[in-house]
Chains A and B, each alone.
Chain A
Amino acid sequence: MTKLAVANNLFCERDDRILFKDLSLNITQGEIVHIKGPNGAGKTTLLRRLIGLSWVVEGDLSWHESVSESGIRPDGHRFWYLAHRPAVTLMQTPLENLAFAVAMHQADVSEPSLWAALADVGLKGFEDVPAHSLSAGQQRRVALARLYLNLPQIKLWVLDEPFTALDVQAVSQLETTIESFAEQGGTVIMTSHHGLHHTSVRELHIGAAA
């Protein structure tokens, strides 16, 4: 299997506290890398370093050339990043939010598949409602709808706490989606306190326990 990313000797220090050091990780295509650790262990920071949004982490990181763009960040149209801030603009409808997310990745998606993706996350009937009138869980779902679009050019998902604010049913649905994405050759890097049980899941523990 292709090695997507190799990182060596990652070192992170924040506010006079060493979060992790000598951290090495390999990411192989088709696996689910589950980063675990207590609150404040630097999970999000590590994730942001992987996609080039963090400067506090020192160390070498290189992406496979199919992913990397000058070695600093993965080429944008090949991954979804679901952040702590869900990038859901409250003054826009779920449909507009999703369409803009797609446009930023310069993908061609037909209107019906946008509607279908929103229906998949249980937002049927809410497509044209301003996002600020939705509940917190529903707003997270707007962000999650991107994962249901099945864009062929996106082979990597970077998910920061994807299960936050979701109900039990939605959690198990998302779990299935993540697993089937990995089975089709996609790669997932995620942080979560929720356990995943699948053959391709590899857990990576960071933080105080180490």
Chain B
Amino acid sequence: MIKLVQHTLQRELTLAYRRRADLLNPLFFFVLVVSLFPMGITTDLDKLTEMSGGVLWVCALLASLLSLDLMFRNDFEDGSLEQMLLSSAPPQVIVLCKIFCHWLVTGVPLTLLSPLLSIMLALPGHALPVLMASLLLGTFSLSLIGSIGAALTVGLRKGGLLLTILIMPVLVPVLIFGTSTVQAIVLGLAWPGYLAFLGAFTAGAFALAPWLTVAALKVSVCD
């Protein structure tokens, strides 16, 4: 089992490296959309400070939704996906590895990019570590829940937009917990509670998502 996990992680990460152009797009999107907000709404730094948590969170959510469609698509098209479902290990393990890699190559870079953007939005410095922690946790649950949507739509030729429609309402709690955490620390309120909700949500998603994803993959692969 450990060998399989090692092998899958290695495969996913080398593939991600070889397709690195695809991975840059969500990052560019993140930067671009965040920088549109001040131009569209206000350049007043005080008002931006108030909004910064929400803006960063909404943009991070949209950016990682963009990359979800690629999670299973290539494997579906070349037939690797059905082999994964026939693997001698539980397919949930392979799926979880894929989700983890997706997070490593989208959620983590988005988080690492967030300090730069938080300066542009005048987020107070002391809130930055909390923002990054909430983004790290939140993007992981985005990858977990998003994998269900990606699995449901992988068989459709134009699944990308549908995937967004399916998964967005389910992600509302992530957005709310994440934004509330950041806003709480900006306003000087107690924030650890909100972060704990986010953690609990992620833990729940971690427990359920792999099973639902495998069930959804079976729907897409089996005819």
- Nearest residue (CB) in B for A103 is B7
A130 to chain B, nearest CB (A): 8
Q: Are B80 and A106 in contact (CB under 8 A)?
A: no
A23: interface (CB < 8 Å): no
B19 within 8 A of A: yes
Residues in chain A near residue B82, CB distance under 8 A? 53, 81, 83, 85, 87
The residue that B88 contacts in the complex, of A76, A90, A91, with Cβ under 8 A, is A76
The docked-state distance in angstroms from the alpha carbon of A77 to that of B75 is 20
A203 CA / B94 CA spacing, docked (Å): 37
On whether the beta carbons of A89 and B80 are closer than 8 Å, the reply is yes
A104 and B79 form a contact (CB under 8 A): no
Interface centre among B4, B8, B14, B79 (most CB of A within 10 A): B79
Number of residues from B at the complex interface, CB < 8 A: 28
The 8 Å CB contact of B18, one of A53, A87, A91, is: A91
Inter-chain contact B4/A103, CB cutoff 8 Å: yes
Closest CB in chain B relative to A49 CB, distance in Å? 10
With contact pairs A76-B86, A106-B3 given, residues A92 and B14 touching in the complex (Cβ less than 8 Å): yes
Q: Is A45 in the interface zone, CB < 8 Å from B?
A: yes
Known contacts A81-B86, A106-B88, A92 near B11 by CB under 8 Å? yes
- A56 interfacial contact with B, CB 8 Å: yes
Whether A87 contacts B79 by the Cβ 8 Å rule is: yes
| Interchain CB contact under 8 A, A75 and B88 | yes
Q: How far is the CA of A96 from the CA of B82 in the complex (A)?
A: 18
Which residues in B have their C-beta under 8 angstroms from that of A81? 82-83, 86
Give every chain B residue within 8 A of A104 (Cβ-Cβ): 4, 7, 83-84, 86-89, 94
In the assembly, what is the distance between CA of A55 and CA of B222, in Å?
7
Q: How far is the CA of A84 from the CA of B4 in the complex (A)?
A: 24
Interchain nearest-CB distance for B22 vs A (Å): 11
Docked-complex contact A105 and B88, CB < 8 angstroms = yes
- Work out how many contacts link A and B, with CB atoms closer than 8 A: 86
Given A55-B223, A96-B14, A103-B8: A85 touches B86 (CB 8 Å cut-off): no
Within 8 A of B (CB), among A17-59: 45, 48, 51-56
Chain A residues positioned under 8 Å from B1 (CB to CB): 106
In B73-127, which residues have CB < 8 Å from any A CB?
74-75, 77-80, 82-89, 94
Known contacts A55-B222, A101-B83; is-contact A106 B89 (Cβ 8 Å): yes
- Is B221 interfacial (CB-CB < 8 Å)? yes
Counting chain A CB atoms within 10 Å of each CB, the highest count among B4, B83, B87 belongs to: B83
Nearest opposing residue in chain B for A91, CB measure: B18
Question: A residues touching B (Cβ–Cβ < 8 Å)?
Answer: 45, 48, 51-56, 73, 75-77, 81, 83-92, 96, 99-101, 103-106
| B residues apposed to A, CB below 8 Å | 1, 3-4, 7-8, 11, 14-15, 18-19, 74-75, 77-80, 82-89, 94, 221-223
- Pairs A-B, 10 closest by C-beta atoms: A85-B79, A76-B88, A77-B88, A103-B7, A87-B79, A104-B87, A87-B83, A91-B18, A87-B80, A105-B88
Q: Given contact pairs A53-B86, A91-B74, A106-B89, enumerate 7 new A-B contacts (beta carbons under 8 Å).
A: A53-B221, A76-B86, A81-B86, A85-B77, A87-B82, A104-B86, A106-B88
